[in-house]
């Protein structure tokens, strides 16, 4: 069930606000009155048109102070870099996709935030031969040990949506081919089918408001269900 509204919108912190999913979270939340986004970032950046939110800019080591001051109901983490941005350096990649994610989660737990939603990736596995998937899986395992009342981990396939530059050739080619390839992915491969970033954002918002405790992972289909529930909340104007 969703957290009932007491006095105005539910406050949800967001890190990774400038990425594909983060920007969609801001745009979708700004279109209604159910959630008030509190963005936390290292630097100023353009926000989506019509954004209604608060943005706090500070060094990552100060993010815990921000979380302690604003006391959000949940944290949505859409942090992530690319192999190219990390200079093809394993430690530089880990610094964002693992160390910064975990440090932010630990700060949120100390600030008393009960819920966390992490945007991870389909195929994340700490035993994977793929460095990218292995780091994602290791991060998920470490997050479980932090002890949130509720932890939701999203496993989207290839993300579709309008990006702010940095679209790699291989990724661009995959997006073009996705409508042809998706129907061929079945069984265990179905989880890698492409998914709209807006749907992932809707699922993240809806799951951030869930009351039941536990650790949950969500593939594309589970995210579609969560997104539908979020839309019903927006249409009714109430949280059940």
Q: Supply the angle between the helices 101-110 and 131-146 in degrees, to the nearest 10.
A: 10
Token couple for 160: 């579709």
pLDDT given for residue 84 in this prediction = 76
123-176 pLDDT per residue, tens = 999 999 999 999 999 999 999 999 999 999 999 998 887 766 555 545 555 555
Report the range of poorest mean pLDDT among 3-7, 15-19, 79-83, 121-125.
3-7
**pLDDT for the residue numbered 35:** 95
pLDDT surpasses 60 at 180: no
Mean pLDDT of all residues belonging to the chain: 87
Give the chain's domains with CATH numbers. Answer: 10-234 (3.40.50.720)
Structural element, H or E, at residue 14 = strand 10-15
Q: What does pTM read for this prediction?
A: 0.87
Run of H or E residues at 65? helix 63-70
């Amino acid at each position: 069930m969703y957290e009932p509204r007491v006095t105005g919108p539910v406050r949800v912190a967001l890190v990774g606000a400038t990425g594909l999913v983060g920007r969609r979270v801001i745009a979708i939340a700004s279109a209604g009155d159910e959630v008030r986004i509190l963005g936390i970032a290292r630097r100023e950046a353009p926000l989506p048109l019509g954004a209604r939110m608060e943005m706090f800019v500070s060094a990552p080591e100060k993010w815990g102070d921000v979380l302690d001051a604003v006391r959000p109901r949940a944290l949505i983490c859409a942090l992530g870099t690319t192999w190219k941005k990390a200079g093809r350096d394993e430690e530089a990649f880990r610094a964002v996709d693992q160390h910064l994610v975990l440090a932010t989660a630990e700060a949120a737990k100390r600030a008393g935030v009960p819920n966390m939603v992490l945007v991870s990736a389909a195929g994340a596995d700490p035993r994977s031969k793929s460095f990218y998937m292995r780091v994602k899986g290791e991060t998920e395992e470490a997050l479980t040990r932090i002890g949130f009342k509720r932890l939701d981990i999203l496993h989207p396939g290839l993300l579709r949506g309008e990006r702010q530059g940095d679209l790699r050739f291989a990724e661009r080619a995959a997006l073009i081919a996705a409508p042809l390839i998706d129907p061929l992915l079945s069984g265990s491969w179905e989880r890698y089918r492409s998914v709209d970033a807006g749907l992932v954002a809707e699922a993240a918002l809806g799951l951030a408001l869930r009351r039941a405790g536990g650790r949950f992972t969500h593939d594309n289909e589970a995210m579609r269900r969560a997104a539908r529930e979020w839309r019903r909340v927006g249409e009714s104007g109430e949280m059940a």
